Amino acid sequence: VLDAVNTAESIDWITYDGWIIHDYADGKSFKLTTGVSGLFEQAIEEKAGKDARAEFEYFSKEMLAPNGLTEVSGYIPPFALRGDIGAVRSLFNYLWKFIRIGTKGALLTGPFTVTMDKYNIQNEFVRKWYDYLAFALSGLDAAHTQAAPVAYTIGDLHRKGCILDYPKGGMDTLIEALVKGITNHGGELRLNSRVEKLLLVEKDGDAHCEGVILNNGKVIKTRKGVVCNAPLWNMAKILKDSCEDDAPSCIESAVSLVQEQANDMEMTGAFMHLHLGIPKAGLEDLNLELHYSVLNFDLDVTAEQNLVIISIPTVVDPSLAPEGYHIIHAYTAASENFSDWESFLENNKDPGKVGANPNSKIASKYNEAEGYNQLKDEKAEALWKAIETVIPDVRARAKEDGAVSIVGTPLTHRRYNQRFRGTYGPAPPEGKDVWELPGPITPIKGLLACGDTTFPGIGLPGVAASGTIAANTLVSVDKQLELMSELKSKSALQ
């Protein structure tokens, strides 16, 4: 995407070679080391025995083999996809790769457990390891995560020479590069400009979207269309608010179809967050890493508050904090039950959108509710405990002068990220193993969808892909092919 908007060169990347996993079950930690050094395989053997190592090595070899599932998972780039009949043309040059995918297509779109079964993976630790990896990607275990993203990630972790990257200056530099990509091409980014309604009209018997209405009443008309990245549940609420009492039946029908899609879509859990700024003097001997995962491998990875993910970005980029301090972000990954928090909202339920500036008093009214702070402290305990496996005296450090300690709940997550029920994203519908997600086309002409409730789903790569597919759908196939040719010349596209 950065290559497409010509801002890739504006980011300096800091490389690192893996992360630490701490298992409450035995109180031990081990490191996932990327590449083919054998260090991770040795860590598996020390953790779970020779049989676990042998099975992991066998499975990795099969996945990474020429025309294996990892290679095949990357055959069709998102830049070749679109949501209309033009995909026939945009995908034509990939016809041979479609043929080579063959029967592996069913494996890629099915749950990753089916792939493990096909290769007769039986070792308990190895299967739990891929449950963990799938959950870290999608908020779902391997039985409910499509094989494609897991297979692709195996390549990112275990091919020769693989390393991981972190943007120097933090994620803000990545955001700034994307913003620059917009402004350099004549676009404009408007902050504090919440969309309250979509401008819906009837044309030739069909529902059309002609623009947006902001919270200040300003109307912005569209030239080609509106791309909405709100989760489907939130988009359904915005559409409902946009549908006037005397709206034509075609608009009512289209809005109802989106509402039905939203009602039928299940969701993953919410998040607890802990943000810290602590003095780092005396931590040198801990040899801190950038990322940690803390969980109990004896429990289901999806169990409430089991997996905690910790980031300490100042380990690799001290410029992100004042001199002498580390910043830490810990969160429970998609495992919080929003029902525990919903009673603190007005009318004891999430109405579908925050409907106010996240920094306003009305948006944060739940902070004053009786019992809220007590529950917040109780739920944050799992985060403190996880960080203590890395920095044992973190609580004392967080009380020192100059330190910062901020707890975020599922209501905070909902409020600032405009996420319905604070959810991470979609989950498979009842009776299904994996997602069945819509593409960018909605029942309303001129309104396209992207984000984690559209194909291909949760996670930064998936969301970036969905935005790419929506953008492709807005332009002509010729324009799309022109961009693909440019990216190929930069070696940014196969």
Tell me what pLDDT residue 435 has: 78
Beta strands in 230-332 (DSSP E): 266-267, 273-279, 291-295, 308-311, 325-332
Calculate the alpha carbon distances from 250 to 6, 207, 438, 445 in Å.
41, 6, 20, 11
Long-range pairs of 59-68 with CB within 8 A, sequence gap ≥ 24: 59/116, 59/119, 59/121, 59/126, 60/154, 60/158, 62/119, 63/151, 63/154, 63/155, 64/154, 64/155, 64/158, 64/159, 67/100
* Mean pLDDT across 482-494: 93
pLDDT band, very low/low/confident/very high, at 141 (cuts 50, 70, 90):
very high
* More confident: 359 or 206: 206
Query: For the whole model, what pTM was predicted?
Result: 0.94
* Mean pLDDT across 396-402: 97
Tell me what pLDDT residue 35 has: 97
- pLDDT 10s digits, 87-132: 999 999 999 999 999 999 999 999 999 999 999 999 999 999 999 9
Tell me what pLDDT residue 461 has: 87
Give percent of the chain with pLDDT exceeding 70.
100
**Which positions ≥6 away from 14 have C-beta within 8 Å?**
165, 166, 167, 168, 316, 317
Beta strands in 180-243 (DSSP E): 195-203, 206-214, 219-221, 226-228
- pLDDT 10s digits, 300-329: 999 999 999 999 999 999 999 999 999 999
**Which positions ≥6 away from 345 have C-beta within 8 Å?**
351, 366, 411
203 pairs with which residues across the strands? 206
Residue 293 has pLDDT above 90, yes or no: yes
SS3 state at 188? coil
* Mean pLDDT across 398-422: 96
Tell me what pLDDT residue 173 has: 96
Tell me what pLDDT residue 429 has: 82
Whether the Cβ atoms of residue 260 and residue 287 lie closer than 8 Å to each other: no
Angle at CA of residue 421, ends 415 and 424, nearest 5°: 90
329 pairs with which residues across the strands? 275, 311
Tell me what pLDDT residue 205 has: 96
Q: Is 399 exposed, middle or buried (0-12, 13-18, 19+ CB in 10 A)?
A: exposed
Q: Which among 134, 139, 169 is positioned nearest to 151, based on CA atoms?
A: 134
pLDDT band, very low/low/confident/very high, at 333 (cuts 50, 70, 90):
confident
Tell me what pLDDT residue 207 has: 97
* Mean pLDDT across 431-450: 92
| For helices 147-158 and 460-474, angle between their N-to-C axes, nearest 10 degrees | 120
Residue 460 has pLDDT above 90, yes or no: no
* Mean pLDDT across 152-170: 96
Residue carrying the six token digits 């990257």: 165
* More confident: 50 or 347: 50
pLDDT band, very low/low/confident/very high, at 280 (cuts 50, 70, 90):
very high
* Mean pLDDT across 137-147: 93
* Mean pLDDT across 357-367: 91
- pLDDT 10s digits, 42-90: 999 999 999 999 999 999 999 999 999 999 999 999 999 999 999 999 9
Whether the Cβ atoms of residue 400 and residue 279 lie closer than 8 Å to each other: yes
Task: Please compute, for residue 481, the number of CA atoms within 13 A of its CA located in the half-sphere on the CB side.
Answer: 12
* Mean pLDDT across 16-36: 97
* Mean pLDDT across 420-444: 90
* Mean pLDDT across 215-228: 95
Kindly state the tokens that stand for 74. 């990357």
Residue 430 has pLDDT above 80, yes or no: no
Calculate the alpha carbon distances from 129 to 89, 138, 302, 372, 403 in Å.
40, 14, 13, 35, 35
Question: Positive or negative CA dihedral for 188, 193, 198, 199?
Answer: negative
